[in-house]
Each structure stands twice: as structure tokens, then as C-alpha cells.
């Protein structure tokens, strides 16, 4: 019996996918491919990846949800051969992966060619990486690249060997999350803005993100709220496995209140130097007093709470109005 996909009020659409499916890869995209396949066919869905379970690139939540939906996860195997029969996929031969990274942490898998397993299937989906297609975009340009085709750039400014070319996202870092590409795009835009203005530095005032890792085994957290992060209630497994819709629940009102009360008053904040005018209003709004504004000349002005601003502004407004009204016309 062919599975049906829920499409809301629309008529359900029947898919013509039949037979077992093998997905090769261990990232979030591979998990998505396996979970989508499970909604398209009433058959066995198997995943194979080089990494061990604890080292898989996919998030723990994605892995857990895939397992809950009945997807079989096989770690430590790499594809050796795709079997063919009458011009169609008949199975995949996998070989045991004994190492993924070398001593320098670079991707350099090693296999035991004698230890193999053959998995019969009708469909195989590869989700093992991506390549960059530059086309003729870089013709006549001396843009330095990595062996895999990715662009080399400054990690702070995203400027390449071609001064007027800035890169970010997967073309620079390799496969990562969308939010990483968005962050790189923002920083790259700041670099572009500075680059087109004469005598403007690309580096001064930038957040270098040079953090020193906290030694969690040598700290005292007695004065901090150690309340755990709130987790939304999970959707029903059977209901979620039968639809493409995201049935995940949101935080309850009580959970939202508990989550927002977890601020540790660390004082860490990032100021956009292109927008901040130093008014100091933000320092009066944080109920935890986590934001502080340091002035180079403290005596040049006086800080007032935002709630008290009218009693200081109104007298000055009246004074200025009288001056304007009775000022002698020139």
C-alpha cells in the first residue's frame, strides 16, 4: 500500500516511490533525506555514515527524532560500490571505516577493505558533501582557493586575495548551518561598507571572538541560578512520522517565564558602532543591570533614568520655547 502525504485541506497526493531506501551521510541534510523518504515509502530506511554516533555532524535532536521514526542508523561505514541490475539500483556495498580524521584533524578516512556489508535496496541517496561551481566568475582573477575549491579569506574581515572580493558562508567555511552563513554575510557587509569609504580600516572595532574557554571544573556557581534550559514538549511520534508538517510544540507560558529568568547578568553585549550614539538609554532598561556604558569624560554629561527623563526635559523645553518666542528678530 502506497503511503499518503498530508497536504492540509488539499487532496492527498500519492507518491510512486517503492522499495527500501539507503541514505549515505551523517549530517542534518542526510537525516532530512531519510525522514522525508520514510514519509514517501512504506519500506525500510537505512542510514550509513563514516562517523561514530557521538561524532556525527547531525544534531542530537535530529538523530533522536530519526530513530524514533524507525530509521535504522549504521555508523562507521563508507560506500564502496553501488550494485546495479537491469539499469536500476539493486544495493550498496559498504566497507568498514576505521578512521575519519588524521592526526592533524583533517578529513582523511581510512577503511578496512576486507570488512564489507551488502545492503539490498531500490533507492540510494548520497548526502556526503558538496562542490563549488565557480563557472567563469573568477576568470582573469587571482583569487586564492583551497584544494577543494573553497575561497581563502581573512577570518575577521572575509576579504580575499582580491581586495574588492569578500566571501562568506559555505564557499568559505564549507558545509555549516544557515545561521553561520547569515552571520558571515553581516560581517562581510560591514567590511564592504568600510572598504568603499576612503581611509577606513577594516579591522578596528571588530569583534574578534577570541574567547578563552571557561574551566568548568574550577569555578563556583553557587551565586548563579543553575535552573536548566526549558525544552518544548515533543510531538506525538506516530503523528509526526505521518506528515511533513512540523508538529513540535512551543514553550508554555510558565516555561517562557522560567527561561527568560535564566539571565546570569554576565554583562556581555555587542554594540553596533554604526548605529550606537552613546545615549545610554539601554543601561537603564536592563532589570539585571548587566549593561554598562563607560564614558571617557564622565563629567561631560549626567546619566538619567529613562523613566525620569520628562522632569529634566520639560523645564528645558519651556526655557527654549521662551527664548525662541522673545528672541529679537534679526
Grid cell at residue 319: 526655557
Q: What are the Cα distances from residue 7, in Å, to 99, 182, 188, 244? A: 43, 31, 40, 8
Q: Phi then psi for 115, rounded to 5 degrees?
A: -100, 105
Give the class (CATH, top level) of 132-208: alpha beta
Determine the 3-state secondary structure of 239 from DSSP. helix
Instruction: Determine the pLDDT at residue 266.
Output: 62
pLDDT for position 5: 38
Gap between the Cα atoms of 231 and 119, Å rounded? 37
pLDDT for position 225? 66
What pTM does this model have? Answer: 0.63
pLDDT, position 36: 92
What are the 10-residue block averages of pLDDT along the chain, 330 residues in total? 37 63 95 92 94 94 93 96 95 96 89 96 90 89 90 95 95 88 95 93 86 79 75 86 86 90 66 74 78 74 75 86 76
Provide the pLDDT for residue 251. Answer: 93
pLDDT of residue 3: 38
Planar angle of CA 200, 204, 206, nearest 5 degrees: 115
Domain ranges of the chain: 15-126, 132-208, 271-324
Task: Give me the CATH topology for the region 15-126.
Answer: FAD/NAD(P)-binding domain (3.50.50)
Determine the pLDDT at residue 11. 34
Amino acid at each position: 500500500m502506497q503511503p499518503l502525504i498530508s497536504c492540509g485541506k488539499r487532496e492527498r497526493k500519492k507518491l510512486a516511490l517503492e522499495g527500501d531506501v539507503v541514505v549515505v551521510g551523517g549530517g542534518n541534510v542526510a537525516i532530512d533525506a531519510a525522514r522525508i523518504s520514510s514519509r514517501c515509502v512504506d519500506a525500510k530506511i537505512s542510514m550509513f555514515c563514516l562517523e561514530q554516533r557521538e561524532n556525527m555532524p547531525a544534531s542530537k535532536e535530529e538523530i533522536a527524532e530519526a530513530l524514533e521514526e524507525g530509521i535504522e542508523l549504521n555508523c562507521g561505514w563508507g560506500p564502496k560500490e553501488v550494485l546495479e541490475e537491469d539499469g536500476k539500483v539493486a544495493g550498496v556495498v559498504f566497507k568498514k571505516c576505521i578512521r575519519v580524521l588524521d592526526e592533524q584533524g583533517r578529513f582523511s578516512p581510512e577503511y578496512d577493505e576486507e570488512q564489507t556489508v551488502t545492503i539490498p535496496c531500490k533507492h540510494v541517496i548520497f548526502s556526503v558533501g558538496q562542490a563549488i561551481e565557480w563557472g567563469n566568475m573568477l576568470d582573469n582573477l587571482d583569487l586564492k582557493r583551497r584544494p577543494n575549491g573553497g575561497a581563502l579569506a581573512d577570518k575577521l574581515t572575509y576579504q580575499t586575495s582580491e581586495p574588492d572580493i569578500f566571501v562568506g558562508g559555505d564557499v568559505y567555511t564549507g558545509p555549516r548551518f544557515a545561521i553561520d552563513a547569515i552571520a558571515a554575510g553581516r560581517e562581510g557587509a560591514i567590511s564592504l561598507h568600510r572598504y568603499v569609504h576612503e581611509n577606513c580600516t577594516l579591522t578596528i572595532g571588530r569583534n574578534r571572538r577570541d574567547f578563552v574557554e571557561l574551566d568548568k571544573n574550577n569555578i563556583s556557581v553557587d551565586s548563579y541560578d543553575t535552573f536548566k534550559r526549558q525544552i518544548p514538549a515533543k510531538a506525538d511520534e506516530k503523528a509526526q512520522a505521518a506528515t511533513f508538517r512540523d508538529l513540535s510544540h512551543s514553550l508554555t507560558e510558565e516555561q517562557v517565564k522560567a527561561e527568560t529568568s535564566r539571565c546570569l547578568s554576565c554583562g556581555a553585549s555587542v554594540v553596533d558602532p554604526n548605529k550606537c550614539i552613546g545615549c545610554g538609554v539601554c543601561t537603564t532598561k536592563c532589570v539585571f543591570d548587566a549593561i554598562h556604558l563607560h564614558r571617557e569624560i564622565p563629567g561631560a554629561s549626567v546619566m538619567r533614568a529613562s523613566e525620569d527623563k520628562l522632569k529634566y526635559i520639560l523645564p528645558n523645553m519651556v526655557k527654549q520655547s521662551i527664548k525662541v518666542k522673545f528672541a529679537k528678530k534679526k
